[in-house]
Structures are given as C-alpha cells and as structure tokens.
Structure 1
Amino acid sequence: MSKTRPHSMTHIARRMFELLEPICLVTFFADECNDELAALGHRTYWDGYFASRAAPLGRVPAQVVHAAFYNFADGEVARHIPSAWETIPPEASLAARERGSAASLRRILGDELADSPGLVRAADLTTKAATNAPMVGRVMYAGMRSLPVPGDPVARLWHSATMLREHRGDGHIAALVGAGIGGTEAHVLSALDMGIHPPESFGRVHHLPKERLAAVMDGLRERGLVDIEGRFTDAGRETKRRVEALTDELATPPYEALSEAELTELIAALEPITAAVVAAGSQ
C-alpha cells in the first residue's frame, strides 16, 4: 500500500474504527463474556474486566496495568490487580474472554451471517491488517500480538478487531500524553465532545470523589480548555480535535498492509456484520 496518501489513510483508519469498535464492544456489553468470567470465580464485572484485558501483559503489578490502560483513576486498577489473578490464572481469564466474546458475536449475527463467506473474508483481511503493524511503543497491542490467532472465523474476527482496538488505543494514549491530557481529563473532554453537561455526570467519571473531579475541572479551566460553566472553550475544542486527528494518523499502519482492493473489500464485508451488531447494541 502506498504511504504517500496520508489523508486517505487517516480516513480509512477512522472508518475502520467505526466498523470494528461495535464488534469489540460485545466483550463489555453482552452477557456471554461476563458469564464466562463469573463462572471462573471472578466476583465482580470489574475483576473479570481487568483480569482478562490485562492478561496478555502477564502477571504485572497494578502500576503497569494502570500505565497501559491510562484512563482509570488512581487506585482503581489496584482494587482488582493482582488479586484477580491469585486464584484464577490470567490464561484462564483470557480464554474465557475469547469464548464469551465469540459466543455473543455468533448469537447476535445468527448462523447465516456468522457462517457466511463474507465473514470469513472479513476475518482474514482484518487479521492480515492486525498482524502487520509495528509493535514498538504499542504495549497493549504487543500483548495481543503475542497470543495465538483463533482458527474459528468468528473468534478470529473478534480477536483481530480487538488487536486493532488496542493498537489504536496505544496511539490514542500517545496523542493524549503529547497534548498533556491525563486519563480523567480525557474522559471530561470526551463527555463535552458528546454533548454531555455537566461533564462530571459522564458515566466513566461520575463515581469519582467530588474533590477529584473538581480538581480536574479546575486544571482544565486554568489551561483554558473549559470555561467557568464547564463547557468547551475554542482552545479546548481544538485540543480535542487535534488529539483525535493524531489518533487516526497513528492508527493507519495496520491498513497499509492491505491493497486498495482489499481495503474496499474489507469495508464492504464488515458493513453488514457491524450493522447487525449495532442494531443489537453490541449486547
């Protein structure tokens, strides 16, 4: 794939994010994955979440998981890692996540679509993209790349979509770090971008101590990114735009492994799959 068309490739990266993200979200929203993790003995949703998503990193301490995940508040990871691995091996949680995610995706799609040639082709091309990007500087992506790719097409599609999600996530963190935006601050800016006001009511942060949220908002005001009412300033909106644009740019390498024809074919193959998952709310 030619690397002389950055605008075209960033558009592709954004379109692929739109198509693949709903497929990845079955892991978090559908019942099967949570049921599989609960059956292992994980006491809460978040025990299973941290134990399974961080598992590709190995038995690392909470500080490493916190750094790699980036957007959780101080102390949240430590409530689950490493305790969630003490009686349940990371490998078991990882396998449960894959089983549950593939099962939910198959249920949502139905046998006709799940067993279709289009899904097989989508899985093959997604895997080609997902296994052909540099790993340097991509901690979560490198962890996923170290795992075997499933043979079943539905599981392979989910696995490769998740590899690409982690690749994009690593790049997004790099963009946030470069812009000096912390994890909780990133949630506030995302809430404002989605039209949520006050941003402190956003589901990813509303549970945090009020003092912590007030300090984050004060910091954003001091930097001129939000105004006295907690809404975007022009500078804040432009900062958010730059972060998203750089995230798209940093997400392009996997898709450079595909030809123009393969990219067109992949998008066409994914569209009915994603439409079905979106219609089900990834649940």
Structure 2
Amino acid sequence: MSTTHLQPTTHIARRMFELLEPICLVTFMADECNEELAALGHRTYWDGYFASRAAPLGQVPAHVVHAAFYNFADGEVARHIPSAWETISPAASVAARERGSAASLRRILGEELAGSPGLARAADLTTKAAISAPTEGRVMYAGMRTLDVPGDPVARLWHSATMLREHRGDGHIAALLGAHIGGTEAHVLSALEMNIHPPESFGRIHHLPKERLATVMDGLRERGLIDADGHFTNTGRATKQRIEALTDELAAPPYDALSPAELDELITELQPITAALVATDSQ
C-alpha cells in the first residue's frame, strides 16, 4: 500500500515545496538566467528579475506588480517597471528566463540526470499537477498558466515547478493578509524563523531606510509579536506557524490531480534531482 495517500494534504504540500523549491531557485541563484536577461539589454539583476517574473501578467504598471509581488517596499518596483520593458518585450523576458533557468539545471544536474527517463517523468507529473489548480484569486499563478508549457523535459520541469511556486506564493500572500502581516513584516518574521538577529539585518530588508524598519519593528512589538529585544514572543511564533500551516493548506489543491501512486512516483523521481541542486545551493 502506498504511504503518500495516508499523509494529510498539508504534509504533501510541504514535502513538494521542499522538493521543487531548489529547482526554481536556479533562476535567482545561478548565473545563466541573469546572463540571458542581461544579453537582452536588462541593465541590472533587478531589472531582469522584475521584468521576467512579472512578464506573464503583461505590460502592467508598477503598482500592479507591487501588489502582486506583495513583499517589496514602496517604490522598489517602480525603479524597474515599466522602464525595463521600454525596449524589451515581456515575451522576450519570459523566454530568456526559461532558457537561462533550463541551462542552469542542465549544468548542475549533468547530462546523465538531466537526460534521464526519471527527470522526464518528474516533468510530466509536475506539469499534471501544475495545470490542474483553480486560478481564482491566484494572480501570479494565473499569469503563468497563460504561457505555453515547454516541450523539452528540463525546461518543462522548471516551468511547472515555477507555476507551483507562484501558486503557493499567491496562497502565502492570502495567509499573510488574513493575519494582517505586511510585506516587510513578513520578512522580519521569516528572518526570526531562520534565527537571523537582529532581523533588520536580513538581506531582503537591510537596505531599507532605518526609520522605515524602526516603524515596522515598533508595530510588531505593539501587537505582541516580538519582544523588546526583537525576538519572537510566543504569540509571534504561533502567528508565523499559523501562516505557514495555512500556506501549506492553500498550496495542496494541485496535488489532488495526482493519484497516490503518482505522488509516490513523483517524490521518488524528484529526490535525486533535488539532492543534486541542494548540494550546489542551486548555483
């Protein structure tokens, strides 16, 4: 008897996140994607990041990207959108991101694993899950669903894993909104969960104006989520745990498209792929 179907769906969603996230991270951690985007004419890493990730939404204004991404500070998106699209189309940015990400996966995995039947099967099953979920309330996921699924197995695995990442991200934003946690506040809670202290030193927010960070920290203290020294209170830790649990719950629906046997097979085929990526930090 399969053991996967005996697990709560939230556990499956968390396990799939652990297996798929290293595949998605090559886009941000490895060199090939940035090189492809730079070759198009994107001037900086962040030009390429905002332009290529937001591109499935079409050529939308900065405030729409800011709303969809959620966790960037006011004004950060507007420094890159829409100027990054002035001479480079969203479609070109999407294609460059896919090329670079697939190239990174092939390099890290090597020919034997990248060309294996197991990877092709993992790509097929990941795609089956990724195209199955409802799009209502899932802005970034819905944008990804408008794109063609690549034929190449490596590119298809990356593409479908990224669809599922955006699906999960949309749900995470819903969980944060329900807990009344803003984007910068979410980074503070994540930093504390990773034992980064002071949390203001976290790489995603350390560059923000000190006055802005102080206001965020003061607000978290007033709500009883962090203490005077900037550590989690019991209430703060419980709040973070509830957000993560709801995120897992909301991320589960795509995997309903897979049978228990297919879930077992997908996990088995993804394990060596993920292990190879984790060993290199997806770089």
TM-score, scaled to structure 2 = 0.98
Does residue 239 of structure 2 align to residue 233 of structure 1?
Answer: no
Shift of 1:215: 0.2
Q: Which residue of 1 aligns with 2:96?
A: 96
**Count of residues paired in the alignment:** 279
List per-residue Cα deviations over 1:18-52 (Å, max 9, x = no partner): 00000000000100000000000111000000000
For residues 76-155 of structure 1, what are the structure 2 equivalents within 5 Å?
Answer: 76-155=76-155
Q: Which residue of 1 aligns with 2:275?
A: 275
Q: Is the 8 A contact 1:6 1:249 kept in 2?
A: no
List per-residue Cα deviations over 1:139-171 (Å, max 9, x = no partner): 000000010000000000000000000000000
Shift of 1:8: 1.3
Counterpart CA distance in 2 for 1:94 and 1:199 is 33
Q: Which residue of 1 aligns with 2:162?
A: 162
Q: Which residue of 1 aligns with 2:249?
A: 249
List per-residue Cα deviations over 1:69-126 (Å, max 9, x = no partner): 0000000000000000011111111100000000000100001000100000000000
Letter in 2 for 1:135: T
List per-residue Cα deviations over 1:157-210 (Å, max 9, x = no partner): 000000000000000000000000000000000000000100000000000000
Counterpart CA distance in 1 for 2:42 and 2:168 is 28
Q: Which residue of 2 aligns with 1:211?
A: 211
Counterpart CA distance in 2 for 1:7 and 1:53 is 33
Letter in 2 for 1:238: A
Q: Is the 8 A contact 1:37 1:48 kept in 2?
A: yes
Q: Which residue of 2 aligns with 1:72?
A: 72
List per-residue Cα deviations over 1:209-235 (Å, max 9, x = no partner): 000000000000000000000000000
Q: Which residue of 2 aligns with 1:262?
A: 262
Q: Is the 8 A contact 1:145 1:163 kept in 2?
A: yes
**Runs of 5+ in structure 2 lacking a partner?**
none
Counterpart CA distance in 1 for 2:7 and 2:149 is 31
Does residue 29 of structure 2 align to residue 29 of structure 1?
Answer: yes
Counterpart CA distance in 2 for 1:195 and 1:277 is 24
Letter in 2 for 1:48: G
2:221 alignment partner, SS class:
helix
Q: Which residue of 1 aligns with 2:192?
A: 192
Counterpart CA distance in 2 for 1:35 and 1:59 is 22
1:72 alignment partner, SS class:
coil
Letter in 2 for 1:190: S
Q: Which residue of 2 aligns with 1:54?
A: 54
Root-mean-square deviation (CA), in Å?
0.9
Counterpart CA distance in 1 for 2:232 and 2:150 is 44
1:144 alignment partner, SS class:
helix
Letter in 1 for 2:177: V
TM-score, scaled to structure 1 = 0.98
Shift of 1:6: 9.7
Letter in 2 for 1:183: G
Q: Which residue of 2 aligns with 1:174?
A: 174
**Runs of 5+ in structure 1 lacking a partner?**
none
Letter in 1 for 2:220: L
Does residue 222 of structure 2 align to residue 222 of structure 1?
Answer: yes
List per-residue Cα deviations over 1:243-274 (Å, max 9, x = no partner): 00000000000000000000000000000000
Letter in 2 for 1:73: A
Q: Is the 8 A contact 1:113 1:273 kept in 2?
A: yes
Counterpart CA distance in 2 for 1:132 and 1:192 is 34
Counterpart CA distance in 2 for 1:192 and 1:186 is 10
